[in-house]
Every structure is written in structure tokens, then in C-alpha cells.
Chains A and B, each alone.
Chain A
Amino acid sequence: MRYRILADKRLIPYLYLTPFILLFLGFTLFPLLYSLWMALHLPGESGSWLDMTFSGLANFRYVIEDDWFGVALHNTLWIALLAGLPQHLIAIPLASFLYRHSRRKNLFSLFFCFLPYLTSSVVIALVFNALFSRDYGLINQLLDTLWQLVHPGAPLQIDWYDAEHIRWLIALVVCWKHTGWNTLLYLSAMRNLNKDLFEAASLEGAGFWRQLVIVVIPGIKPVLLLALGLTLVGNLQLFDEAYLLTAGTGGSGQSGLTLMMYIFNLAFVEGDYALASAAAWLITVLLLLLLPIVKKVIRHE
């Protein structure tokens, strides 16, 4: 009698799934819907969630019309492109090179490829801050020495943190950090390719770069799509590197302000969760629009 409910076999899978379903409802679905609810309401005096008035799309409008949202969107897309493309342009040949020259699983080179990805963003930002310091940084001293060889007596001093350069610096850090991760993805995809293809290509006289174009890239297309998608999502959600390199200020002229920093400021500096939710949903929509475009571009190639 007691176990009769379990006797119905159709229910058993759901019973096993209960922990996941509960966690999903509590920590994924509920926050998602709650943020949508907040985005559509204006907070009341007390700040309690019971005391909200429906405001339609007013929060979305406020965000879209905000000067700094436009700046953040521009910066984010700019950094996404500048940090995103080189990652793959370096990673694919690098993976191909590693594939050719390490027949056995070369854990050592893989470890070095992967190291930047494993290192905490905070540590990376600290090191890059020291390297790129305007007056006391190693990079500027090196550049200045080289420059003085050509133009003696004319000191060169680049301010990597000013409005003009900060986006390059952020893009460099992001690119440096994620290239190894992509190399790993491509390498594992190449290991699954048929070795005969490479041999056939060599016999036909195709060199490294030719093989890359005719064998590797068509073979790893599904992984390429995945990797580019991950890069796009990751770069549109860029926060750590930009926040740390600009000390949370967004940099001079807000040139280093990313969309996620913009949301962070709305929520945790200004305390306006309704606006922050609206901005977050706008970015979700933007991602949903951009991903099919990436997919289409790769399919066509």
C-alpha cells in the first residue's frame, strides 16, 4: 500500500529528477522570471517587492535613452570584436601546429596553453597593471628604449589607460586569456579528424597553410561554431578585466565601460534593480539576435 505511488513506473524518472527540478525552479527559473517582473515595474517607496507599480516598457526606454548605455554598448561590441577575432585567428593555426608536432598527448604544451585561462582575472589584471603602468611599466620602458634608437632624445610615453588606449589594453588581456582555451577546443576537434585526410593532402603537395584551409577548417566547423558562440557570449558579458583595469571607474571618458559594468553600476552603486534588470534583458535579446548571425556566417563559408 505504502509504495503504491511508486508502482506507477512513469513517475519514477521524475522522482529521480526532483533534486534537479527543485534547484532549477529555485535558482534558475525563479530569478529569471523575477528579474523580468522587476524590469516591468517601478519600485515603490519601501523598496519591497509587494510595493511595485506596473510600468510597462518605461525601464527599457530609460536604459535605451541613457547616454552611458550607448557608450557601454559601443565599447562592448568594439572589445568583443577586437578581442574575439584574434583569439581564433591565433588558436586555429596554433592548434594545427601542436597537432602536427606532438603526435603523443603533449600535456606540457597543453598546460602552458591553458594556464592563462586557469589564472584568476584579479591576478592577471594586477600583473598587466604593473606591466603597462605609464611611468613605471616594463612595456613602456621597452618601447621607449626602442623608440630612442630611432629618434634619440625624443621620449615616448604611451598612456595605456587614457580614453584612446584602454579598450586595446582590455582586448589584449581578454585575448591573451582565452586564446589557449580555444586552442584546446580546436586541438581536441582535430584529434577526431581522419588522419588519412592529412596524409592525402601532403601527398598532393599541400603545405601547412593549405592543409589548414582545405582539411582542418572544414573538419572542425561544428567546433568552430561552438567556440565562436562561446566567445561572443563571453565577450558580451565581459566584466572582470574591464572592471579591474579601470579600477571600477570605466576609465577616462568611460572608454572601458562594458555592458556588464553598466548593469553592475545600476544595481549595486545606484541601487536601481529595476533598471539593471531591464538592461540585462536587453543584452539577452541582443545575444539572441547576434548568435544566429554568427551561425549563418559560418554556414556560408
Chain B
Amino acid sequence: MHNIISRISLLLLLGLSLGQTFATTLTIASYPNFDTSVREIIQEYEKANPDIKIRLVSLSYFDHHNSLYTALKTNTPIADVVGIEQDYISKFVYSGKLAPISHAPYDAEKYIDQLTPFMVVNARGEDGQLYAIPADIGPGTLFYRPDLLARADVDIEAMTTSWDAFIEAGKQLKKQGVYLLANASDIKDVFIRTGIQSGEGIYFDQHGKVLVNSPRFVRAFELAKQVRTAGLDGRLQIWSNDWAESIRRGHIATAMMGAWFTGHLASWIAPEEAGAWRAHQLPGHVYANWGGSYYAIPQSAAHKPEAWDFIRYMTLNPQVQRRLFTELDTFPALQSAQSDDLLSRPVPYLGNQPAGRLWQTAARAMPAIVANKHDAFAADIVRKQLDLVLDSHKDIPRALADAERQITRKLQRP
């Protein structure tokens, strides 16, 4: 008897000491460039929390979200913390496979006043609980190359007064052998995010009604078609090698993206061209949110308390959020981090332009967008239809009617 007890206690002791030597491994699943923020803080986080080891698993944007969704749906324990992009947030929140973090043992509800309101709205499920915390937002920005504009004798202020002026400037640029945009669909992507009424999303209103056959989309498709017909775009597929190469070689004069694009330019697209790009508000005096990221904890996560500590550190710690903005140009979703001294700081990649001010103005004026769990599907259908309009001369009204029909059909599936 005594023998057995001593053996058991020996085992217990062994177990305890093992637990102390082997730190908890916290797995984080993310995608580029959002993953750089994790890379940035790994060292200091592990130093401050010696019992935590961070393992970052990063896949490309579409692969990450698709495999993550499949893993969650089949209850496969994939990671303790997952990064989710704006377009996918509702799909994941409504999947029923994320842990609700509003109340004990979590305490997310306490912090919501400090976060960008519309991002918080989209992180809530049907039951009103929070399922994710926003990390950064993407104030829509017109990135441009002043040297290329100067060569075509185009003034940035004049070219951004209206969309028509923007396209006219593109014709001047074309004479210099420079493309206005990498792809005509870029203009569609920005335009459908502008002029959104309250209670509406990009593709659906708050009651789930499909909005793709509306004047907003007609105008967006027309602008894109105008750009393509006039030969003002490089017809390059976004994120492709040719696309990056053309930006690097200075064949593209402007790019419309979220503020986060600065990080992409600086880290891999054109690091050598530091100082060549500047930021400006979008043409036609419009403001739009483009992208933004969240962190969430899957139901199947093995280390939920540690995951929550990590998320709090990344999203609710003003110092960390400020540092990520300075280092990686991710615009903080935490409002207390959007301080004046931070935002008026020069951004080295953008020729020391204090672009933070610009982004703050945009962030304040951006319409709130209601997310829908079918956003990613609708975005895909709209992209396919625009391809047909641009490349195969499909009628715009027919393309949008087809898009509406295809999306509605999908919604009718249980």
C-alpha cells in the first residue's frame, strides 16, 4: 500500500516538474501581413511570460480563411488564437465555433468603449455576445507616386476632386506610359465601400436583403469599365508576381487600399522604393473602411485563458498598439492608442509624411459597415461578374442582375 502511494506521489511530482519545465505552447494562426504584428512582439511577449511559447502558423490570405473555416466546422483543434479579416468576420462569428468572450472567464465587454464602434458591432453574434476583438482598421487611402504624377503634369489635389477628374488624370498618365491603376477592379473595390447608408453592409442590408443590384454597384462597375476601356489599368491580378513587379518598376501611379498597404509596400512589394510613395484621401471626397483584422479564440482551443491574455495584450494595450502602428503601419482599432503625438509622427516609408492624421480623419468619417456572414461569397460573385464585364463585354445591368440572382439562390440554401 505504502509502496503504491509513494509511486503515485512520485508520478505527480514528476508531472508537476514537467509542467514547469515545458512551457505552454500557444499556437496562433494568421495570414500575411497581419502575421507580422505577432512576429514583432513574440520575443518581448515570451520574455514577459516565461511559461508561454508562441508558435505562429501563417498561410496565404485565402488558404488561411478557408482551411480555418473547415477546421472549425469539423472541430479540429487548429490553434489557440486565430486572426480573421474583415470580409470573413461574420462568417466566423456565425459559425458557432468561436468562444464567446463577453463574460467570465473572459472580460471583453469591459473594453468595448475603447474600441472602434463599427468593428465591435460586427464581432457580435446573434446572441449579442462578442466573439472577436478588433486589432486594426483600414482607413481607405489613395497611395500615389508624386514623381510619376509630376511627369504627366498631374496635380494630386486636382485629380482627387471627383472620380471623373481621377479618370481624366489617368489619360494624362497613359501618355507617359504609366498606368493609373494596377487593375480596373480596384476602383470597384473602393467605390462599393463608399456612400453606404447606416444599417447597410457592402453587399447586404441589416435584414439580409441583397444590395448588389443598386446604383452604388452600377456606378462602381461603370467606373471600372471606363478605366478598362480607356486602357488606363495594367490588367494585373492583385497580389500576383507581375503585379508586384509592375509596382516595383514604377509602372503604376496610384493604388487604392487600406492604410495597411504601407506595410505591404515597405516589407515585400517595394522596400527599395522607400520615399517614392505618398498617401492622400480617396478621390471624390469619400471615406471608406477597407479591411481590418480581428483576433478570436476557437471553441476547440486547448489553452483558452492564455489565448485571452495574449489577445488582450495585442489589442487592448495602447503601448503595443502604438508600437505596431509605428513599426508596421497597422492603424490601431484601439481608440486610446490613436493619440495626437502618435498620428502626427512622420511615416518613413511615405517620405516622412505624417499620414496618421489623414487616416484619423478618414477613420472618423468612414461609414459603419454592417457585416454579413455571406460577405465573402458575395464578394466572390461580384468579382466574377466584373471580370465578365471587363474582359468579355458583358452588359453591366445583366451582370449585376446575374450576381443578385446567384447570391439570392445561395441564401435560399439552408
Binding site for B on A (CB under 8 A): 42-44, 46-47, 62, 66-68, 129-130, 133-136, 159, 161-163, 247-250, 252-254, 268-272, 275
Contact with A along B68-92 (1 / 0, CB 8 A): 0110010000000000000000000
Among B384, B402, B409, find the residue whose CB has the most chain A CB atoms closer than 10 A: B384
* B402:A67 contact, CB within 8 angstroms: yes
Instruction: Indicate if the CB atoms of B241 and A133 lie closer than 8 Å.
Output: yes
With A135-B246, A271-B73 as given contacts, are A247 and B387 in contact (CB-CB < 8 Å)? no
Nearest CB of chain B from residue A186's CB, rounded to whole Å: 38
Output the nearest chain A residue to B377 by Cβ-Cβ distance.
A270
* Closest chain B CB from A55 CB (angstroms): 9
Taking CB as reference atom, which chain B residue is nearest A251?
B387
Interchain CA distance A67-B403 in the complex, whole Å: 11
Further contacts, 16 of them, CB under 8 A, given A163-B392, A253-B392, A254-B387: A43-B414, A44-B414, A62-B409, A67-B402, A129-B241, A130-B241, A135-B245, A136-B242, A136-B245, A162-B391, A247-B237, A269-B62, A269-B380, A270-B410, A271-B73, A275-B413
Distance between Cα atoms of A162 and B242 in the complex (Å): 14
Q: What are 28 A-B contacts with C-beta separation under 8 Å? A: A46-B96, A62-B409, A66-B409, A67-B406, A129-B241, A130-B241, A133-B241, A133-B242, A134-B235, A134-B242, A136-B245, A159-B235, A161-B237, A162-B391, A163-B391, A247-B237, A247-B239, A249-B237, A252-B387, A253-B384, A253-B388, A253-B391, A254-B384, A268-B67, A269-B62, A269-B380, A271-B73, A275-B413
Q: With the chains together, A80 CA to B96 CA distance in Å?
A: 41
Task: Provide the B382-411 mask, 1 if CB < 8 A to any CB of A, else 0.
Answer: 001001101110000000001000100110
Q: Which residues of A contact B242 (CB under 8 A)?
A: 133-136
Q: How far is the CB of B348 from chain A (nearest CB, A)?
A: 29
Shortest Cβ distance from residue A262 to the other chain B in the assembled complex, whole angstroms: 12
The interface residues of chain B lying within 8 Å CB-to-CB of A47 are 73
Q: Are A42 and B414 in contact (CB under 8 A)?
A: yes
> Do A272 and B66 touch across chains, with their CB atoms under 8 A apart?
no
Name the distance in Å between B145's Cβ and chain A's nearest Cβ: 18
Q: How far is the CB of A125 from chain B (nearest CB, A)?
A: 12
Bound-state Cα–Cα, A275 to B377, Å: 15
Task: Provide the bound-state CA to CA distance between A282 and B387, in Å.
Answer: 28
Cα separation A155 to B413 with both chains bound (whole Å):
50
Q: Which residues of B contact A129 (CB under 8 A)?
A: 241
Size of B's binding interface in residues, CB under 8 A: 29
Q: Which residues of A contact B20 (CB under 8 A)?
A: none
Q: Which residues of B contact A249 (CB under 8 A)?
A: 237
Closest 3 CB pairs of A and B: A163-B391, A252-B387, A252-B391
Within 8 Å CB of B377, what residues of A? 270
- CB neighbours (8 Å) of A248 from chain B are 62
A130 partner residues in chain B, CB cutoff 8 A: 241
Chain A positions within 8 Å of B66 at CB level: 268-269
Q: Which interface residue of B66, B73, B380, B390 has the most chain A CB atoms within 10 A?
A: B66
In angstroms, how far is the closest chain B Cβ from the Cβ of A142? 17
Q: Which of B359-380 contact A (CB under 8 A)?
A: 377, 380
Contacts of B402 in A (CB 8 A): 67
Interchain CB contact under 8 A, A163 and B69: no
Q: How far is the CA of A43 from the CA of B95 in the complex (A)?
A: 14
Q: Which residue of B has the minimal Cβ distance to A136?
A: B245
B383 to chain A, nearest CB (A): 8
A275 to B414, CA, bound (A): 12
* A247 neighbours in B (Cβ, 8 Å): 237, 239-240
A248 (CB) vs chain B CBs: closest residue: B62
Q: Report the bound CA distance from A253 to B390 in whole Å.
A: 9
Take A247-B237, A271-B73 as given contacts and tell me if A253 and B387 are in contact as well, using a CB distance cutoff of 8 Å: yes
Distance to closest chain A CB from B177 (angstroms): 12
Alpha-carbon distance between A67 and B404 when the two chains are bound, in angstroms: 13
B residues near A46, Cβ cutoff 8 Å: 96
Residue of B nearest to A42 (CB): B414
Whole-angstrom distance between the alpha carbons of A134 and B240 in the complex? 12
Q: Is the CB of A271 within 8 A of B391?
A: no
Q: Which residues of B contact A67 (CB under 8 A)?
A: 402, 406
Shortest B331–chain A CB gap in Å is 28
For the complex formed, measure the closest distance between the CB of A157 and the CB atoms of chain B, giving whole angstroms: 10
The docked-state distance in angstroms from the alpha carbon of A125 to that of B184 is 26
Contact check: which of B62, B69, B245 meets A271 at CB < 8 Å? B69
Q: How distant is the Cα of A159 from the Cα of B414 in the complex, in angstroms?
A: 41
Residues on A with beta carbons closer than 8 Å to the beta carbon of B384:
68, 250, 253-254
